[in-house]
Amino acid sequence: MKDIKLRIRSVESTMQITKAMQLVATSKLRRAKERMENSKPYGKIAREAISAAVARCEDPNIPFLTPREGNRRCYVVIAGERGLAGGYNSNIFKALDAHAGDADYCVLPIGRKAIDKYQRMHKELLEDTQARVEGASVDDCYRMAGMLAEGYEAGRFDEVYLVYTSFRTMMDQEAKVEQLLPIQKAHLPEDATPVSTVYELEPAETLRRVVPDYLAGKLYSSICDSFASEVSMRRNAMDSATKNADAMISDLRLKFNRARQGAITQEITEIVAGAEE
Amino acid sequence: MATFHLQIVTPDRMIFDGQVERFVARTAGGDVCILAKHIDYAAPLGVGQAHIVDENGKTRTAACNSGLLTVYNGEAMVMATTFEWSDEIDRDRAERSRQAAEEALKALKREDVEYAVNSAKLKRAIARINAAE
């Protein structure tokens, strides 16, 4: 009986924690979703703008757009800072493994969990300081984008991929791998009267200036997307943990009451038996 | 006057999406004005003032910082690092950052790495102050 009582108490305190975490996640979720919605248009319009800018460019070697021979890869991995969010972190790592296969790659980790994981695997890290996901600012993204653009231009890698979690609904989030560089052109409406584009600067120079901005915007929106996913996955995980704890407690209560009832019955039987003699 | 579709975005939000008569911004090659039926065009943006004249003929001024301006099939797209309407600018803050940048520049030499950083800061602060006026 004492055992059961102790177990009930420990499950109760676990439930308090999961419930608190669920509440925290719920309150963070609203802001995270808002930030995510606001950051979405940039990536789409930026890709269209860049595609439009080079749509009629004759130069076959536009930096950042023309695929290169080499196949050294760099993955930008956005994971969380903490666990206890269902499969959030492991889904991300699985998505990367499935995409990379046996290929060798270097990593730009974002979030504590990603840093730890790829440090343990002894992968080459471009940087191991970007541990914050929750409060990541646009400035942080510009810094990382500059690093990626520089590394790509210097030929340290030929392809850059982004691994992040896309928020679809509260119950549905998906780990995704997306190609960042070389940029894949957006599909533009075909125009009836093709005319040449007027450039203020050479197309190559234009791209060289603009692509780091594009990368930064893309990183920012993916970080917001991932964070919203992380929070909602944590909320769901904590919600089911709380429910499980609740079920466990009522189960234990039942057992406890039965044991108590059993003890009383036995005592009465003993007394009655003693009186009869 | 004829209008055209203009979209302005920054990484953290959509700033503008609608019909305008005119869009003026500072590009790498100088100030450029886009009107309806402009030829296809691409230019990186510099630091400076920008303004639009909307379909009702109302002018709105903003401080714009880096990015890309493209026109394709008569539609204009602007992806900017920052784009702040004049009524959103914190003048005191811009003034403070202008002073800080000026102070820093006094102590630096032209060839220092920090020099470029601070002169860019100064440019942005001046663009903000001008746009806010």
For A67-91, write each residue's pLDDT tens digit.
Answer: 778 778 888 888 888 877 778 888 8
pLDDT of res. A131: 61
The CA distance from A266 to A248, in Å, is: 27
Burial (CB count within 10 angstroms: exposed 0-12, middle 13-18, buried 19+), residue A215: buried
Confidence of residue B1 (pLDDT cuts 50, 70, 90): confident
* A200 inside domain: yes
Among candidates A228, A252, A68, which has minimal Cα distance to A152? A68
Confidence of residue B116 (pLDDT cuts 50, 70, 90): confident
Cβ–Cβ gap A213/B68 under 8 Å: yes
pLDDT of res. B23: 93
**Chain B stretch 75-94, residues whose beta carbon is closer than 8 A to a beta carbon of chain A:** 77-79, 81
- Whether the Cβ atoms of residue B52 and residue A209 lie closer than 8 Å to each other: no
* A195 inside domain: yes
The whole-number average pLDDT for the span A154-178 is 86
Residue A194 pLDDT greater than 70, yes or no: no
* A12 inside domain: no
Residue A111 pLDDT greater than 70, yes or no: yes
Residue A135 pLDDT greater than 90, yes or no: no
The enclosing H or E element of B9 equals strand B4-10
Which token pair is A119? 């440090």
Tell me the nearest-neighbour CA distance from A171 into chain B, angstroms.
25
Cβ–Cβ gap A39/B41 under 8 Å: no
- Please tell me the total number of residues recorded for chain B in this structure: 133
| Average pLDDT score, chain B | 86
Cα A8 vs. chain centroid, distance in angstroms? 35
CATH code of A163's domain: 3.40.1380.10
CB atoms within 10 A of CB A158: 16
* A241 inside domain: no
Among candidates A128, A88, A123, A126, which has minimal Cα distance to A103? A123
Select the more confidently predicted residue: A272 or A103. Answer: A272
Q: Any idea where the domains of chain B sit in the sequence?
A: 4-87, 90-132
- Whether the Cβ atoms of residue A213 and residue B75 lie closer than 8 Å to each other: no
Cβ–Cβ gap A197/B79 under 8 Å: no
| Average pLDDT score, chain A | 84
Q: Is the peptide bond before A60 cis (omega within 30 degrees of 0)?
A: no
The whole-number average pLDDT for the span A105-132 is 81
The CA distance from A177 to A182, in Å, is: 14
The whole-number average pLDDT for the span A7-26 is 90
Residue A174 pLDDT greater than 60, yes or no: yes
Facing residues of B31 across strands? B26
* A53 inside domain: yes
Query: In the CATH scheme, what is the code of domain B4-87?
Result: 2.60.15.10
Instruction: For residue B11, give the chain A residue with the closest CA.
Output: A217
Residue A67 neighbours by CB under 8 Å, 6+ apart: A182
Interface A-B, measured as beta-carbon pairs within 8 A, has a size of 112
The CA distance from A63 to B102, in Å, is: 36
Q: Which domain holds residue A198?
A: 34-235
Q: What percent of chain B has pLDDT over 70?
A: 100
pLDDT of res. A242: 92
Residue A250 to residues A6, A8, A105, A243: CA-CA distances in angstroms? 14, 9, 50, 11
Confidence of residue B95 (pLDDT cuts 50, 70, 90): confident
Residue A192 pLDDT greater than 60, yes or no: no
Q: Domain total for chain A?
A: 1
Lowest mean pLDDT among A130-139, A217-226, A263-272, B25-34: A130-139
Instruction: For residue B77, give the chain A residue with the closest CA.
Output: A49
Residue A130 pLDDT greater than 70, yes or no: no
What is the dihedral angle through the alpha carbons of B13, B19, B21, B22, rounded to the nearest 10 degrees?
20
Tell me the nearest-neighbour CA distance from B113 into chain A, angstroms.
16
Among candidates A75, A120, A69, which has minimal Cα distance to A100? A75
Instruction: For residue B82, give the chain A residue with the closest CA.
Output: A138
Q: B35, B40, B77, B117: which to substitute to probe chain A, counting the most A Cβ within 10 Å?
A: B40
Which token pair is A131? 């541990």
pLDDT of res. B6: 92
Residue A191 pLDDT greater than 70, yes or no: no
The CA distance from B78 to B89, in Å, is: 19
Q: Is the peptide bond before B44 cis (omega within 30 degrees of 0)?
A: no
* A257 inside domain: no
Which token pair is A92? 């991300």
The CA distance from B71 to B57, in Å, is: 21
The CA distance from A170 to A65, in Å, is: 35
Tens of pLDDT along B70-80?
888 888 999 99
What is the dihedral angle through the alpha carbons of A17, A19, A22, A23, rounded to the nearest 10 degrees?
-110
Cβ–Cβ gap B13/A38 under 8 Å: yes
* Three-class SS state of A271: helix
Helix axes B113-132, B91-107, angle to 10 degrees: 150
Confidence of residue A264 (pLDDT cuts 50, 70, 90): very high
pLDDT of res. A157: 85
Residue B94 pLDDT greater than 70, yes or no: yes
Instruction: For residue B27, give the chain A residue with the closest CA.
Output: A200
Contacts of B81 in chain A (CB under 8 A): 142, 213, 216
Among candidates A174, A163, A177, A178, which has minimal Cα distance to A233? A174
Which token pair is A223? 């970080």
Cβ–Cβ gap B40/A195 under 8 Å: yes
* A192 inside domain: yes
ipTM, interface predicted TM-score of the complex: 0.80
